[in-house]
Amino acid sequence: MKTRKIALIALLAPAFVGGIASTACSDASALPGLDGIAEQCGLVCAAEGIVEGNAQISGLRSIDTFFAAVVDFNAKATIVSGNIDAQLGRIRAAVGVDANADLNAAIKAKFALYADGGVTIVAQPPKCEVSASATIEATAKCDATVTPGMVSATCSGSCTLDASAMAKCDANATLTCSGTLPDLQCAGTCKAACDGTCMMDGTAKCEGTCSVAPDANGNCNGACTISGEGQCNGKCMGSCKGECSYTPPNGMCTGGAQVKCEAKANVSAECKGKCDATVTPPNASASAKASGEINVECTPPKLALKATFKASLDADLVAKAQYQAFATVFLDAYGQILAEVKRADVVAKAGGNLAVTGKAAVEGAANQLKASADVKLKATIGVGCALAELPKVATSVKVGTDKLTGSIAAAAKVSTAVGG
C-alpha cells in the first residue's frame, strides 16, 4: 500500500534529535539506514483515505470507527441514490420517454390515455426502522467495554422484537401484541383498512371504508365499501382484515402475534429489536448512532389510486391490457421510490450529523491522547494522521449528500404528477 510519510523528528528522543534536528522523514536520503523503517514500523499515514474508501486512518479503534461510518455513509448514499434512479428508469420506460424528457408531463400524458381529469395516488407514510442490535455492534467496534448481548440501546418510539412469548419490556415501555392471523382473538384495538381488488381491471386497490369492531368471535375483520369517486368503476371485491393490537394481561403474546415495546411519552425504552424512531446506543456514541441510521430499512407503503376512468376502457380490451401492465409497473416502482426517498432522508441527516458530532469526537480523543502521560509513538502518529484526514470528512459527506438530494429532487417530479 502506498503511504505518505510525516515528520517524526519532533517525536524522537532529544539525544537523537541533536544531530539531525532539521531533517524530516520525507527526505529519506538524509537519513542513512532509516529508509523504509518508518513504513515497516507503521509510523506513516496511508496514502489512501476516506475519499478512496479507506477507513484505517489512525490504527486506533475509537477513532477509525468514525472514519468507517463516513465511508459507510458514502457507500449507502450511492446504493440508495442508485435504487431511486433505477425505479425512475422503470417509470420512464413505462411511459416511453428517455432521461432527458419531462417525466412529470410524460406521466400525466400516459394516465390521460385511460382516465379523465388526471389521477391521484394516496400513500401511507413508508415505515422505516433502525436496528438497535446493529447500533450496539457498531458501538462495540468503537468501545471495547461494550459487549453485544450484555447491553441495550434505547428507542424513543415503538421497538419491534423477535417473535418470542417470553419477550419483556422495561419500565419505560408497554408491551403490546399485534397481528392479523386467523387464530388471533382480538380483545383490543382493531385497526383495519380496505384491502381488495376492482373488478374492472383486477389490479388496483379498492378505495373505501371498513368496519373495525371485532366480531362476536373476536375476529378483526370487516366489510370493504366503496366511498366517493374511487378508481373502481366496477364492483369492488374487497375485504377488511385489520391488525389487532392489545396489551396481554400476563405479559405474553400468543398466536404468532408480533411483539412490540411502546415507549411511554417523552421517554426512551430499552430496545433489542428494530425501532421506528430514534435509537440511542449505549455510551451515546455518535459514530454508532450514525451507523445505525445509515443502515435504516424502509418498507414501501400501500398505495391507493384515485381516478375516473374513461367509459370506453371496459370495451377496449387492448387498451385495458395496456393500462393494467402500465399500472402494475408504475405503482410498484412508485411505492419503491417513496420508501427509498424516506430512506434517503434518514441517511442524509445521519451523514450531516456524523460530520459534525464525529469530528468533535475525533478531536476530543486526540486531545485526551495528547494529555496522557503514557502515550506510545505509534498512537501519536495515528492521531496526527486522523487530524490530517478530518478536513476531508465534510467534502466526502457532501459527495454522498449531493447524490441523495439529486435523486430525491428527480423523484419529486413523479409525486407532483400524481398528486402524492
Q: Considering the domain boundaries, does residue 258 fall inside one? A: no
Cβ proximity of 31 and 37 under 8 Å: no
Same domain, 18 and 98: no
pLDDT tens digits, one per residue of 10-59: 333 333 333 323 333 334 334 444 455 555 555 678 889 999 999 999 88
Question: For 102-111, 121-130, 329-338, 404-413, which range has the lowest pLDDT when averaged over its residues?
Answer: 121-130
More confident residue, 180 or 310: 310
Same domain, 13 and 92: no
Please state the φ and ψ torsions of residue 42, each to the nearest 5 degrees: 75, 30
Q: Considering the domain boundaries, does residue 353 fall inside one? A: yes
The CA distance from 296 to 340, in Å, is 10
Same domain, 382 and 347: yes
Same domain, 67 and 113: yes
Residue 160, beta-bridge partner list: 260, 274
Is the confidence at residue 191, as pLDDT, over 70? no
Please state the φ and ψ torsions of residue 61, each to the nearest 5 degrees: -60, -45
Pairing relationship of beta strands 173-179 and 243-246 according to DSSP bridges: antiparallel
Is the confidence at residue 161, as pLDDT, over 80? yes
pLDDT classification of 285: cutoffs 50, 70, 90: confident
Range from 138-152, 169-183, 195-209, 308-322 that averages highest in pLDDT: 308-322
Q: Considering the domain boundaries, does residue 80 fall inside one? A: yes
Same domain, 332 and 363: yes
Q: Considering the domain boundaries, does residue 215 fall inside one? A: no
* Grid-cell match 407532483, residue found: 416
Domain count, the chain: 2
Cβ proximity of 126 and 296 under 8 Å: no
Question: For 183-187, 289-293, 314-318, which range has the lowest pLDDT when averaged over its residues?
Answer: 183-187
Average pLDDT over residues 110-122: 88
Same domain, 420 and 307: yes
- Residue 288: the pLDDT is 83
Q: Which of 351, 388, 384 is nearest to 71 (CA)?
A: 351
Average pLDDT over residues 361-365: 76
Q: Considering the domain boundaries, does residue 288 fall inside one? A: no
Q: Considering the domain boundaries, does residue 162 fall inside one? A: no
Name the CA dihedral angle for 25, 26, 29, 35, rounded to a multiple of 10 degrees: 60
Q: Is 419 left (phi over 0), alpha (psi -120 to 50) or beta?
A: left
Same domain, 76 and 114: yes
* Cα torsion angle, 232, 233, 234, 240, sign: positive
Residue 55 C-alpha cell reads as: 477507513
Same domain, 55 and 37: no
- Note the Cα 22 to chain centre separation in Å: 51
Q: Considering the domain boundaries, does residue 172 fall inside one? A: no
Range from 70-79, 158-167, 308-317 that averages highest in pLDDT: 70-79
* Cα torsion angle, 317, 319, 323, 326, sign: positive
Residue 206 C-alpha cell reads as: 379498492
Same domain, 111 and 10: no
CA angle (398 as vertex; 140, 91 as ends), nearest 5: 100
What burial class does residue 358 get, using C-beta atoms within 10 Å of its C-beta: 0-12 exposed, 13-18 middle, 19+ buried?
A: buried
Residue 175, beta-bridge partner list: 261
The CA distance from 214 to 220, in Å, is 5
The CA distance from 246 to 215, in Å, is 15
The CA distance from 389 to 348, in Å, is 21
Q: Considering the domain boundaries, does residue 338 fall inside one? A: yes
Q: What is the mean pLDDT of the chain?
A: 76
Same domain, 307 and 396: yes
Whole domain around residue 11: which residue ranges?
1-47
Same domain, 399 and 410: yes
Same domain, 12 and 87: no
